[in-house]
Structure 1
Amino acid sequence: MAVKEESHRARQAQATKEQVARAARELFAEQGYVATTIAAISEAARIPAQTIYSAFGNKAAILKEISRIWIVEAETRRLAQESLAIKDPAERLRSAAHWQTRQFETGIDVIRIYQEAARVDQQIAGQLARMLKAREQELEIFLNSFKGQLKPKALDLFIACTAAEIYRTLVLDRHWPIEDYERWLADTLVTQLIR
C-alpha cells in the first residue's frame, strides 16, 4: 500500500511540475524570461508560489523542465535513431531535415527563451552551452554513420544549415509554410553534405 501511495504522490508531483512548466513557458515566450516572476507563474499555473519554490527552487530549474518536456514531445531522439536505419544517404539526410524541422516547430520558443535567459543568468548560459555541446556530439555520431559518403566539414555544414536563426527568418519572419522550410532544408543538406 505504501508503494502505491508513493507512486501516486510522485505522479502528482510530476503533474504539478509539468503544469508549472507549461504556464511558465507561455509567460516566458510572451513577456520574456527576465520579466516573468514566480508570482506570475504561480497565478498562471494556479499553483501556490511556495509549491513552485519547493518543486523547483528557481526559474532556471523551471526552464530545464520546459526543455525536458519539449524534447520528449518533439520525439527527435526517436526520429534520429530511426533515420540511422535508412541506407540511402540522401534519404537519411531528408529524414534528418524532418526531425530537425520538428524540433524547431515544437520548440523555437524554448530556444528563444534559453537565448534570452543565457544573457543574464550564468547558470542558464552553462546549461545552454552543455545542451549545444550534447547536440553537436549526437550529430557527430549521426554523420559518422555515413562512413565517408559526406564532404569534409559535414558537421560544420549541418550546424550552419540548421541554425535556429535561419528557421526564424524563413518560417516566422518570411512566413514560409513549414513544409517549404523542411523541403528547403532537406535539399540544402543533400546538396551541401553529400560528396
Structure 2
Amino acid sequence: MTEKGARAAKTTANRAKMLTAARNLFTTRGYTATTMKAIAEAAGMAVQTLYFTFATKRAILSELLDLEIAGDAEPIATLDRPWFAAAVEAPPQDQIRRQVDAAATIFGRVSALLEVIRSAAATDPELADLWQTNLAQRHLVQLRLAEALAAKSPLRAGLDTERAADISLAVLAPETYHLLVHERGWTPAQWTSWASDALIRQLLP
C-alpha cells in the first residue's frame, strides 16, 4: 500500500470508530446527554479531530442515519436500490412481502437510532427537522410502491395510492416496530408476518 493509500485507510478507520462510538452513546445515553467530548473519548480520538471530521453532533447523527438505512456507504437512493426494483417487478402480494422484508431488514439496523431521533425531536428543532425529513422520505418510498401496486392490481375499494401509502407508512412505522419488537418482545419474523398480513388485507381486494 502506498503512503497515500495508508493515510486514506487510516482516515476511513478513524471515521468508522467515531461513528461507532457516537452510535453507542446516542442509543444508551440519548442524544442530548451525549457530548462531542464524550464521543471523542469513546473513540480514542482528540476532540479537535472529531470536530474537524464532522463539525457538529447533528452531522454525526445524520451520517449514521444514512448509513444504517442504506446498510452501506454507497451513494444510492432507496428508490434505486435492488430490493426496491425487485419489489416493483413482483406480483402484488409478493411485492408487499418484499417491501415488508426490506423494512424489517432496515429497522433491524436503524430502529434504535430512529427512536433516539424521535425522542429528541420534541425538544431539539434540528432533530425535529431531521425526523420530518426522514418521515417525508419514508412516505415517498411508500407512495412509489403504492403506485406500482395499483398498476398491477386494483386496490381495496375506496383506496387511492395516497391513502394506500399512508396505510403502509403507519403499519411500517419505526415506532410500531420498536413497540412490538423492542418493547413487547416480538421477534422480527413475527413482526414481518404481521405487517405483511396487515398490508395484504388493507391494500388488496
Instruction: Compute the TM-score of the two structures, normalised by the length of structure 2.
Output: 0.84
Matched, 1:79 2:83: yes
CA contact (8 A) 1:20 1:42 kept: yes
Equivalent AA in structure 1 for residue 35 of structure 2: T
Aligned residue number for residue 111 of structure 2: 108
**Which of 17, 23, 30 lines up with 1:19 in the alignment?**
17
More moved, 72-81 vs 52-61? 72-81
User: Which one scores higher on RCO, CA 8 angstroms, separation ≥ 6?
Assistant: 1
Aligned residues: 192
Aligned residue number for residue 30 of structure 2: 32
1:22 is displaced (CA, Å) by 1.1
**Which of 126, 131, 139 lines up with 1:128 in the alignment?**
131
More moved, 146-155 vs 68-77? 68-77
Q: List aligned pairs for 1:30-69, cutoff 5 A.
A: 30-69=28-67
* Alpha-carbon separation, structure 2, partners of 1:114 and 1:6: 37
Unaligned segments of structure 1, at least 5 residues: none
1:64 is displaced (CA, Å) by 0.9
Equivalent AA in structure 2 for residue 112 of structure 1: E
Equivalent AA in structure 1 for residue 51 of structure 2: Y
Aligned residue number for residue 178 of structure 1: 188
Equivalent AA in structure 1 for residue 148 of structure 2: S
Please report the RMSD computed on the Cα atoms of aligned residues, expressed in angstroms.
2.2
1:9 is displaced (CA, Å) by 4.2
Q: Over residues 39-70 of structure 1, what are the superposed CA-to-partner deviations in whole Å (9 max), with x where a residue is unaligned?
A: 11111111111000111111100101111220
1:118 is displaced (CA, Å) by 2.0
1:37 is displaced (CA, Å) by 1.0
Equivalent AA in structure 2 for residue 185 of structure 1: A
* Alpha-carbon separation, structure 2, partners of 1:188 and 1:163: 13
Unaligned segments of structure 2, at least 5 residues: none
Matched, 1:142 2:145: yes
**Which of 81, 87, 94 lines up with 2:97 in the alignment?**
94
CA contact (8 A) 1:80 1:96 kept: yes
1:11 is displaced (CA, Å) by 4.5
* Alpha-carbon separation, structure 2, partners of 1:67 and 1:9: 26
1:7 is displaced (CA, Å) by 6.0
More moved, 75-84 vs 175-184? 75-84
Local SS of the residue matching 1:84: helix
Identity of aligned residues (%): 29
1:165 is displaced (CA, Å) by 2.3
Equivalent AA in structure 2 for residue 101 of structure 1: A
* Alpha-carbon separation, structure 2, partners of 1:70 and 1:119: 22
Matched, 1:191 2:198: no
CA contact (8 A) 1:89 1:149 kept: no
* Alpha-carbon separation, structure 2, partners of 1:133 and 1:175: 28
- Given the superposition, is the C-alpha separation of residues 117 and 13 from structure 1 closer, same or farther in structure 2, using an over 3 Å criterion? farther
CA contact (8 A) 1:18 1:65 kept: no
